[in-house]
Amino acid sequence: MSKTALITGATSGLGYEFVKLFAADGYNLVLVARNKQKLEEIKQSFRSIDVRFVCKDLSVPNAAKEVFEEIEEQGIYIDVLVNNAGFGLLGNFDELDIQKQVNMIQLNITALTELTYYLLPKMKQKHGGKIINVASTAAFQPGPLMAVYYATKAYVLSFSEALVEEVSDIENSITVTTLCPGPTKTNFGSVANVEGTKMFSNAMNSDIVAKQGYEAMKKGKRVVVTGGMNRVGVFAAKFLPRSTAAKMAKFVAGKK
């Protein structure tokens, strides 16, 4: 019987690349995002697998629970959870809209946490399952000018690495893979207003980034940082004083 993957943020960027990768391997899919027309188009374009979607704004409280309830009602078992939906915002913390930043925390942190909470128990019962949580190279240091975004991704990395240990003794294994991309060519750049920044001058292609995450998931890897330069940056951030790493993050967040 085919396995099923649930992918949040499936309508563009990395999420859509994951859709193609899972579909190519014969997975049935449950797609979650806000844009109903795009969800319908994606569903129509994959005829050989079962594609369902839940049109939901995950930045609204309780949305993740509602997604879970819809899946339960349809009797779908999720073998792979891809917590991918997320966004960032560039600017001084106190000058950015507070509601947008709260929505970011709700989407990047709370929805990811709740979906994991609701889907993990069945994976444990069935003695198997895979989770990909999309963090970022932002997870490894404080990020002035994107303070909340960087903090949300630090949460995703810390939470996911802790879960790895909690599930590590389960027979047949549940794996949790944290994907940490650096700047990547998707809609993220225009949504976050970071396209003209120094950090985005060498953005990677989204198909390559998603493929690296997908392969890491298959191998059950814990953390994958995509791209050689990004791995160097993450390595450096681990050894630099936090204040120096923060200053560097501020520098690259500046316009070219």
Ligand X SMILES: NC(=O)c1ccc[n+]([C@@H]2O[C@H](COP(=O)([O-])OP(=O)(O)OC[C@H]3O[C@@H](n4cnc5c(N)ncnc54)[C@H](OP(=O)(O)O)[C@@H]3O)[C@@H](O)[C@H]2O)c1
Segment contacting ligand X by CB under 6 A, of 55-63, 113-121, 162-170, 232-240: 55-63
Residues 6+ positions from 139 with CB-CB distance below 8 Å: 150, 153, 154, 156, 157, 158, 178, 180
Q: Which of 15, 213, 227, 233 binds ligand X (CB under 6 A)?
A: 15
Segment contacting ligand X by CB under 6 A, of 21-29, 178-186, 216-224, 244-252: 178-186
Per CB under 6 A, does 142 bind ligand X? no
Tokens (6 digits) for 8: 């949040």
* Active centre residues (catalytic): 149
**Amino acid making up residue 191:** V
Q: Which of residues 86-115 bind ligand X (CB under 6 A)?
A: 86-88, 107
Residues in the chain: 256
The DSSP code for 94 is G
Per CB under 6 A, does 175 bind ligand X? no
- Closest to 86 measured CA to CA, from 59, 114, 119, 113: 59
**To the nearest whole angstrom, how small is the minimum distance from the Cβ of residue 211 to ligand X?**
14
Shortest-Cβ-distance residue relative to ligand X? 13
SS3 104: helix
What are the two backbone dihedrals, phi and then psi, of residue 223, each rounded to the nearest 5 degrees? -135, 135
Per CB under 6 A, does 85 bind ligand X? yes
Binding site for ligand X (CB under 6 A): 8-15, 33-35, 38, 57-59, 84-88, 107, 134, 136, 181, 183-184, 186-188, 191
